Structure 1
Amino acid sequence: MLEDLRKKQKVIIYFVAIIFILGMGAVGVVEIFTPKPYVGKVAGTKISFEMYQNKIQEVYARYSESNPNQPIDDGTRQNLENQAWQELVDGILWDKQIKKHKIKIKDDEILTEMQNNPPEDLMQNPALQTEGRFDPSKYIAALKNDPNLFVILEDYYKSYLPRKRLQDKIMADAGITMDSLKAEYIKENDIVRGKMIFFDYNTIKDVEVSDEDIQKYYDDNKEEEYKKGPASRMQYLVFEEKPSDEDLAEAKKSADQLAARAKAGEDFAQLAMDYSDDPGSGQNGGSLGVFGKGQMVPEFEAAAFNLKEGDISDPVKSDFGWHIIRVDRIVSTDPANPQVEARHILVKVEASETTKIEIAEKAQEVRDMLKKKKMDDVAKELEMEPQDSDWVAHDAQYIAGIGQLPQMISWMAEAKKGKVSEVIRDQQGRMIVGKITENVKSYYEDFDKVRPRIRYELEKEQKIAKAKVKADEFAAKYDPSEYFDKAEAEGWKVYDVNNFKRGNSAAGIGISEMFADAALKLNEGEISPVVHDPKGSYVIKAESRTKPDIAAFEKDTDKQKEIREKMENLAFSRWYQQMREDAKIEDRRAEFGL
């Protein structure tokens, strides 16, 4: 029993130095072992290389324990290392806030928590259950008899309990009063159901916005809407780990050998299970079941439907790799719907380790060239196409064309014009080398890039204004009792309003306080006048209403508790998000190729 518990709770620290070194990309071996000051800083606290490496080992260990047979590709490795970084950042922020709020936990409090509040995962462990239910006596016995389990849980609660106390304090300081609870209760229980007529401005076509109108809007709003920063721009080159001609030939050689063995009489299904790179069909002996034309890629389909029953094809190339196909049965020869039952062995064409090393070396060589030459000159020399990142805000979450890449964003925020990045892998496993073209405190969005957005907004304003006139004409033409019968005949859309409450989205309008005010003012059976919202014009009909019962709520302590917990959790989430935004976080991993 105790051994089973240890397996459940214990984090095994694996030796991942090789993976870590590989993750350092193009940094030389000598440079790897050269002492570095730190890889990052969080609110003044430095993250050393040792701290980062230890956390990576821990995260890799957890991943390996949860996914024992799952290989770690470059994308997974990058995600795990980013996860390790985030855990370090969060841990430091928590520790600083615990100290700031003077949260202290005594040893006897930790012991009491261990004894009285075991982790949920442990409570689900069959070894600690009696007749399918958690047995506290077995848990206490395990704590007494297994020193390893005790130490593991003690470490867990030493970290967990101060955070829990801080969270409780922040929630208690949120100032949730009875009036706050009533307001939230009203918001959740003031509900209208019915219909709405939306005078859809998108049906208006006769609007015209001139280039002069767009330029004027841009000039008038340049400071308020289009001044951004701080931000950086870079040009960059991308190196993908594509298979070489030698890799293609090697894969073809393997496919030829497998085809020969299959044609010589070896069990096709067993060959597929042993060698196919298609995990879905491979484990089923390569079986693809019955399929017709149009269901497979063209190269595969052409080969399969030219085989006789029992025939085995020569290797067939597709974007997936090389296929060896065997038709088990011709199911239908109907020209309108021919069908076969077949199986295949897939040999993928992938970049070999040699090819990957060559590409990494090339990326490093290009990095060295960029330190001395212009990006365009290097790209021309290598017959590559440089990419422009456009402006990237220093607090951005992603780079257009690249995606989320915190290391690159952090580097861009710090690097001066002309600086060259390390070779950094993105989430797609590509290697990227960038060179800063601008790093500024502020900039104006390019007029040509915002022009379509301005045109759209100005045209939308005109359309809403014209739809407003048409809505008033509609209202003048009919009695309110006729609105919903006549609306669709007049070309206006009628939508259902289902369980609408304040904060919900309305069709064609989105979230609007004006819509909420108009809808929740109505009693059952009432129809609103035409409402001219800045987002569009509409009429609302309340077919049924649910209104909050404040007197009953004042007596319902369970409901009050439920709403209080919800509001306190939201308050804590806002506090935590603001705390992270306010903290100065310096990520220097990119400087060292991490």
Structure 2
Amino acid sequence: MLRFLRKYSSSTGIKILYGLLAALFVIWGVGAVGGQRVDVVAKVHGETISRRDLDRAAALLQRRYQEVLKGQFSADLARSLDVRGRALDQLIDDALLRHEADRLGMAVGDVEVVDAITSMPELQEDGHFSRQRLEYVLQAERDRGEFEAEVRRNILFERLRNLVVDGTQVSDGEITERYRLDHEQVDLSFVRIAATDLAAGITLTDDDLEHYLAGHPESYRTPARVRLRYVAYRAADFEPQVEVQDGEITEYYELHKTERFTAPEELHARHILVTVPDGATEAAKSAARTKAEELLTKLRGGGDFAALAKQHSDDPGSAAKGGDLGFFPRGRMTPAFESAAFALEPGKLSDLVETP
């Protein structure tokens, strides 16, 4: 099919076909397969969320509410919780998360998913991972792939969250201000007047109506509609006729090697940060270096890195996690730290690294 279109691309018939297909996607705004319209409820960075996606997400969310609330869940409660609205918010959040992860070159491997699942507290029995408990969880899921997808999303979200919050400090004044805003109250008195009581004494003239219409034309404007006819070409109907040559595969790979077939190099590291305030005296700098050297000596003597980081690291973002910085590519850390980290072999310790 591709060769046919290339060969006759200059013919009038093919140009008309291109025009019809372009009009279909530009004017209609939704895809069509087999004459069936696919409604798009949202679009996030070019990724569409269909009505079918929303129906499925809403059904999964409602089932979770039913499992938590047992017999107390009702249709009225579902409406008050706005299950579809919450499901749409979740789909949009997921799309934003995937877009940002792709932009940063982040990906969650199968090994990480397996490690996360086997370390879940609810899947442990006598201190060990229980496959039987996992099977119970999977049996409760209508879609087994949803459980794995949710674990993968959670890992990705945790990585992005760490990028944002690591190294972030909140002052006491900011905490006080936020508490004040969250707990601010007002003493309010009001009078309720039914609109029907006021409407009975009001008479609108034609001039009043024309003046209001002139000021609010968009409220009464009917969206433009089109009717069209189109020809749908299903890929499955033409796949048996297409023969992909090795040269075409090589050409496609070379054209898309950077964005589709190249993963940026990442490193997983821990660190213990010893800070020196700006303008510190030489004595203070010397004391900090002495402390760092003592910590390095303990580590080289077999000390527990995570325990020492929790006790001595000045990095508020990673200290509680045993100095764990997660995965990061080149270009994210300071040059001196990055050079030292990427030069290390797995499991090895670096010398002291001084950064600005």
TM range (shorter): 0.3 to 0.5
**Rg larger in structure:** 1
Give TM-score, length-normalised by structure 1: 0.23
TM-score of the aligned structures, taking structure 2 as reference length: 0.36
- Bigger RCO of structures 1 and 2 (CA < 8 A, at least 6 apart): 1
Structure with bigger strand share is: 1
